[in-house]
């Protein structure tokens, strides 16, 4: 509801997405009339919020959320009905018809990405990048999509230009300290320097005052308005009025490294001598001090000048003897070593980052001002320590492996604050987000050198050199873990398989109660011809709604936006799609005819190798849920891959008596779970041939995994059943099952005895067959035990134990064991129906388990959940939580007030810094 000064109105949305504006005519407290008017159509929302600033936030039920701006308030002509003019006939109230059209009153401004619901997910490195990609099938109905998620921030490239030769470095300078935008981009090559001016276009200039016949080592703004260029033979100081002062190196020595800020410059000469310059009040660079270092200097950096001060106190020097020294630049103890830190490998690059003091900052906690020294080491590690602002002592160091190359560190501006770009085998961005320091990779290629870039088209950008090109890009959507590439699909996707050799995806999509593409086209044409002179009744009102005008056909958003028209509940539409994820093109789309819907899919390699890898798809015809579950027929289709896997050709269809909900390849044959029957099929010329079956499963089979000769069958209601196939007798035996009922939604095979599963009520659990039982089963030569042993609890003779149990709170739809970072350990990655992706990481040491269980215990007591539920009771909502520690709760530790942090840390025998370091370590192992 929205109140304006003169009147108020309501916005109502129907289940089809049409919004109506409702106004009441009233005098005082009595309502005389209710007017309802068609407003616009947006995807169905769970909730809408109208903001006073003229925006509408629509939290969509499934799919991306959107922010719209009100263009108009719906006061112009539209279909309107009023309670005063409502006509009542014998059949009830006469309905008023309208036609949905493009957005007239709203304009979409922004979207919040949402993966809801994740129907299936696989983690795989199809594109052969450094980290694997997560492929998720999301969405429902016409808003479905395949999303390819990559860890890291998205980068939007603004310009790429070729340079003459291979550049080694790039810098940007402003002409004056109060300038908002940069003036020059200076690119250094091995024997020259190129100066480009930034304006309407980027052009080369030769009158900037820079020396362009020599490579440069550093270019920056000095003082208020002068430019400095450091080249191997000296320093060139260009004043604003054009005067140029040159300082030459003594003798034959060359400058090897430079560190500078706005008022101080330190250069390192070859041989390890440091010379310190300062800018005095007249803007002149004066040499202040010299210092001999014991060896060559690897890298230098000076902290930025603090507010209101004249100089920064700290100079960091990294040497090839694997040490980093902090030297003071204060006039009284110039060049005195304040502290030394030894590191695991020679430092390649150093950078100081300052965190400003904030009280009641974005996360509500107080942060004192602190200074961090970051070092990129030769072994690819980023090393980070806290520098005490008073004494210069280094403490509290953390390291993180970034990539195979030594990271080079550059300061750039992110959201107005100084942030760090680390260039290793892939670029990483270190920035402060909501009070935390985040280090996330960028989805971009390897870069050599970078600098911050700011112009009126691109306020916070980065200019970088890679290969022979100069690239300018901006980093978008900070704070998000993944960036996604979206490929739209036609119907609700159900499952997909990867065809590993050809790097293609094959997926099945199906929807209930919808019309096929041809039927929709026919219906549209029919309505267009018939006009609005149709019959009354809601049945044809549906048809009317999709009979849009010509403009709807050109509207690219139409199906996704308006949704598919509804048909009767037992009409299914379905298709099988082969997709190339690199290009996003669908190479083959087979729409299933005749009310058939696909439910399961799997690739099979039959032992008869005539056709190579085949695709098996389980379908059902005429499936209905209400009033009673029933179907006309079930089929298993076998397809052959043609055209190098890009297209499908039907070999044959085999009719079965139920819905084949699960398919799996097993020892050169196909295992199908059809209702409560598990059947083994072989490939025949015209149909599949039944070889073996087991009818003893309680309800429907929903998942089958196979490993060697064990088959792990998941029942829809009764959790896992472990079966064994005896080849000599051609028999399938169930030898173990679970004690408790579990309504399975996802399952994954972990190892020979262990299965991971997720159930409908939001739990994730692992079951394991006890080792002695497993050994007994394996050692049984004749199979006598399996055949004749009596069942227990109306089930199999042996029972599996539950080893892990956790209530996630969200229905998990897919599980997979994968590792999301290169060289990282594997964890179980899961995707849920509400669109979240989580990970379960296994601890490797008892100490870790002890530490985290105690931390979790303290967090439960001292930081209970916001809505008052008891944490342990919540995580044990259906079954008692077993052997899982809630990482999200532990990660809330840094948000606690300082005294509470200290109290908890004391009880754990550590300092708060150590606890946060441990939390960071565990997080870095996952992603």
Partner 1 sequence: MQASDRFNINSQLEHLQAKYVGTGHADLNRFEWAVNIQRDSYASYIGHYPLLAYFAIAENESIGRERYTFMQKMLLPCGLPPEREED
Find, among 703, 811, 840, 814, the residue nearest to 136 by Cα.
814
Task: Respond yes or no on whether the N-terminal peptide bond of residue 117 is cis (omega within 30° of 0).
Answer: yes
Q: How many residues belong to the chain?
A: 927
| Least distance (Å) between residue 529 CB and partner 1 | 28
3-state SS assignment for residue 885:
coil
Angstrom CA distances, 795 to 536, 636, 731, 740, 836, stand at 56, 29, 18, 11, 35
Find, among 785, 154, 7, 118, the residue nearest to 475 by Cα.
154
The whole-angstrom separation of Cα 158 and Cα 141 is 35
- Cβ burial, residue 400 (10 Å; 0-12/13-18/19+): middle
Nearer to partner 1, 109 or 112 (CB): 112
Between β-strands 798-799 and 731-737, what pairing exists: parallel, antiparallel or unpaired?
parallel
Find, among 317, 272, 285, the residue nearest to 299 by Cα.
317
Residues that bind partner 1 (CB under 8 A): 15, 44, 46, 61-62, 116-117, 119, 140-141, 492, 511-514, 569, 625, 745, 760-762, 809-811, 832-834
State CA 833 to chain mean position distance: 16
3-state SS assignment for residue 679:
strand
Nearer to partner 1, 418 or 807 (CB): 807
| Least distance (Å) between residue 541 CB and partner 1 | 16
**What are the helix (H) ranges across 59-113?**
none
| Least distance (Å) between residue 715 CB and partner 1 | 18
Find, among 262, 284, 264, the residue nearest to 274 by Cα.
264
Nearer to partner 1, 453 or 572 (CB): 572
Nearer to partner 1, 683 or 815 (CB): 815
| Least distance (Å) between residue 492 CB and partner 1 | 7
**38 phi and psi angles, rounded to 5 deg:** -70, 135
The whole-angstrom separation of Cα 239 and Cα 287 is 17
The whole-angstrom separation of Cα 661 and Cα 722 is 18
| Least distance (Å) between residue 870 CB and partner 1 | 18
Nearer to partner 1, 140 or 150 (CB): 140
**What are the helix (H) ranges across 535-664?**
538-546, 550-554, 558-562
The whole-angstrom separation of Cα 640 and Cα 609 is 12
**Residue located via tokens 């919540």:** 874
The whole-angstrom separation of Cα 600 and Cα 591 is 15
> Would you put residue 30 in left (φ > 0), alpha (ψ -120 to 50) or beta?
beta
| Least distance (Å) between residue 716 CB and partner 1 | 13
Q: Which helix (H) or strand (E) holds 264?
A: strand 264-269
Torsion of Cα atoms, 810 then 814 then 817 then 819, to 10°: -80
Name the token pair of 878.
């259906």
| Least distance (Å) between residue 450 CB and partner 1 | 43
The whole-angstrom separation of Cα 625 and Cα 637 is 23
| Least distance (Å) between residue 834 CB and partner 1 | 5
Number of C-beta neighbours around residue 847 at 10 A: 9
Name the token pair of 145.
């999509």
Angstrom CA distances, 489 to 15, 138, 140, 833, stand at 21, 9, 10, 18
Q: Are 79 and 31 in contact (CB under 8 A)?
A: no
**689 phi and psi angles, rounded to 5 deg:** -105, 130
Angstrom CA distances, 3 to 6, 9, 23, 236, stand at 8, 7, 11, 65
| Least distance (Å) between residue 477 CB and partner 1 | 25
Nearer to partner 1, 419 or 659 (CB): 659
Nearer to partner 1, 136 or 832 (CB): 832
Helix axes 912-926, 898-907, angle to 10 degrees: 80
In the chain, % helix, strand, coil (3-state, to 5) comes to: 10, 50, 40
DSSP string, 51-67: ETTTEEEEEESSS-EEE
Name the token pair of 342.
């030894």
Its sign, for the CA torsion 918, 919, 922, 924, is: negative
Nearer to partner 1, 46 or 86 (CB): 46
The whole-angstrom separation of Cα 907 and Cα 858 is 9
Q: Are 420 and 411 in contact (CB under 8 A)?
A: yes
| Least distance (Å) between residue 833 CB and partner 1 | 5
State CA 878 to chain mean position distance: 30
């Amino acid at each position: 509801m929205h109140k304006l000064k003169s009147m108020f109105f309501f916005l109502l949305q129907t289940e089809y997405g049409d919004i109506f504006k409702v106004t009441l005519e009233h005098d005082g407290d009595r309502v005389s009339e209710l007017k309802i008017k068609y407003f616009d159509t947006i995807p169905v929302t769970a909730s809408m919020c109208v903001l006073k600033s003229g925006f509408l936030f629509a939290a969509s039920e499934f799919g991306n959320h959107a922010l719209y701006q009100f263009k108009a308030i719906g006061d112009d002509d539209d279909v309107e009905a009023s309670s005063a003019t409502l006509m009542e006939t014998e059949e009830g109230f006469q309905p008023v018809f309208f036609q949905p059209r493009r957005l007239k009153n709203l304009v979409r401004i922004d979207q919040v990405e949402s993966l809801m619901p994740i129907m299936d997910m696989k983690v795989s490195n199809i594109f052969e990048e450094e980290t694997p990609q997560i492929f998720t099938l999301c969405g429902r109905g016409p808003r479905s999509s395949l999303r390819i998620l990559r860890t890291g921030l998205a980068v939007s490239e603004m310009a790429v230009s070729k340079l003459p030769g291979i550049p080694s470095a790039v810098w940007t300078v402003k002409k004056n300290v109060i300038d908002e935008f940069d003036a020059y981009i200076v690119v250094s090559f091995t024997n020259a320097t190129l100066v480009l001016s930034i304006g309407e276009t980027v052009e080369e200039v030769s009158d900037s005052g820079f020396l362009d016949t020599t490579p440069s080592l550093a270019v920056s703004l000095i003082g208020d308005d002068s430019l400095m260029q450091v080249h191997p033979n000296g320093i060139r100081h260009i004043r604003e009025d054009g005067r140029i002062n040159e300082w030459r190196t003594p003798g034959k020595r060359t400058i090897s490294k430079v560190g500078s800020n706005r008022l101080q410059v330190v250069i390192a000469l070859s041989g390890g001598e440091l010379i310190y310059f300062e800018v005095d009040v007249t803007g002149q660079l004066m040499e202040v001090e010299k210092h001999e270092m014991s060896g060559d200097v690897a890298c230098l950096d000076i902290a930025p000048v603090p507010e209101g001060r004249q100089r920064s106190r700290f100079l960091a020097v990294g040497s090839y003897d694997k040490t980093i020294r902090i030297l003071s630049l204060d006039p009284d103890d110039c060049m005195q070593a304040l502290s030394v830190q030894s590191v695991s490998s020679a430092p390649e690059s150093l950078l100081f980052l300052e965190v400003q003091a904030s009280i009641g900052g974005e996360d509500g906690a107080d942060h004192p001002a602190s200074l961090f020294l970051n070092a990129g080491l030769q072994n690819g590690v980023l090393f980070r320590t806290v520098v005490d602002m008073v004494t210069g002592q280094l403490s509290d160091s953390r390291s993180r492996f970034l990539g195979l190359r030594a990271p080079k560190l550059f300061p750039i501006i992110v959201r107005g604050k100084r942030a760090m770009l680390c260039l290793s085998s892939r670029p990483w961005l270190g920035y402060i987000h909501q009070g935390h320091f985040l280090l996330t990779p960028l989805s971009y290629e390897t870069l050599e050198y970078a600098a911050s870039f700011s112009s009126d088209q691109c306020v916070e950008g980065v200019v970088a050199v890679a290969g022979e090109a100069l690239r300018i890009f901006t980093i978008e959507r900070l704070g998000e873990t993944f960036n996604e590439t979206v490929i739209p699909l036609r119907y609700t996707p159900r499952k997909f398989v990867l065809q590993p050799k050809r790097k293609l995806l094959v997926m099945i999509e199906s929807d209930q109660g919808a019309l096929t593409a041809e039927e929709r086209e026919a219906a549209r044409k029919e309505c267009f011809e018939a006009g609005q002179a149709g019959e009354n009744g809601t049945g044809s009102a549906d048809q009317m709604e999709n009979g849009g005008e010509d403009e709807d056909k050109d509207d690219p958003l139409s199906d996704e936006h308006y949704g598919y028209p509804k048909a009767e509940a037992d009409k299914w539409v379905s298709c099988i799609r082969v997709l190339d994820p690199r290009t996003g093109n669908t190479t083959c789309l087979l729409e299933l005819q005749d009310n058939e819907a696909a439910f399961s899919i799997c690739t099979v390699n039959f032992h008869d190798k005539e056709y190579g890898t085949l695709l098996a798809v389980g379908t059902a015809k005429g499936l209905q849920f209400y009033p009673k579950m029933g179907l006309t027929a079930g089929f298993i289709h076998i397809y052959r891959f043609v055209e190098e896997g890009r297209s499908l050709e039907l070999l044959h269809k085999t009719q079965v008596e139920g819905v084949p909900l699960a398919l799996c390849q097993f020892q050169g044959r196909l295992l199908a779970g059809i209702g409560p029957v598990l059947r083994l099929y072989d490939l025949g010329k015209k149909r599949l041939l039944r070889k073996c079956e087991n009818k003893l499963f309680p309800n429907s089979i929903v998942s089958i995994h196979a490993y060697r000769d064990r088959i792990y069958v998941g029942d829809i209601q009764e959790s896992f059943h472990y079966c064994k196939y005896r080849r000599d007798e051609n028999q399938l035996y169930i030898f173990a099952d679970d004690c408790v009922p579990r309504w399975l939604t996802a399952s994954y095979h972990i190892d020979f005895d262990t299965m991971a599963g997720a159930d409908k009520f939001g739990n994730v659990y692992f079951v394991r067959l006890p080792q002695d039982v497993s050994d007994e089963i394996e050692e049984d030569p004749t199979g006598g035990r399996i055949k004749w042993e009596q069942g227990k609890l109306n089930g199999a003779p042996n029972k599996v134990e539950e080893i892990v149990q956790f209530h996630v709170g969200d229905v998990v739809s897919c599980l997979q064991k994968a590792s999301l970072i290169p060289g990282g350990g594997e964890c179980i990655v899961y995707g849920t129906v509400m669109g979240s992706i989580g990970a379960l990481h296994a601890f490797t040491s008892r100490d870790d388990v002890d530490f985290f269980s105690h931390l979790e215990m303290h967090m439960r007591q001292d930081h209970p959940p916001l809505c008052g539920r008891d944490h342990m009771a919540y995580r044990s909502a259906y079954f008692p939580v077993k052997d899982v520690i809630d990482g999200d709760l532990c990660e809330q530790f840094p948000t606690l007030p300082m005294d509470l942090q200290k109290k908890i840390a004391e009880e754990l025998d550590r300092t708060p810094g150590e606890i946060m370091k441990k939390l960071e370590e565990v997080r870095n192992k996952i992603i």
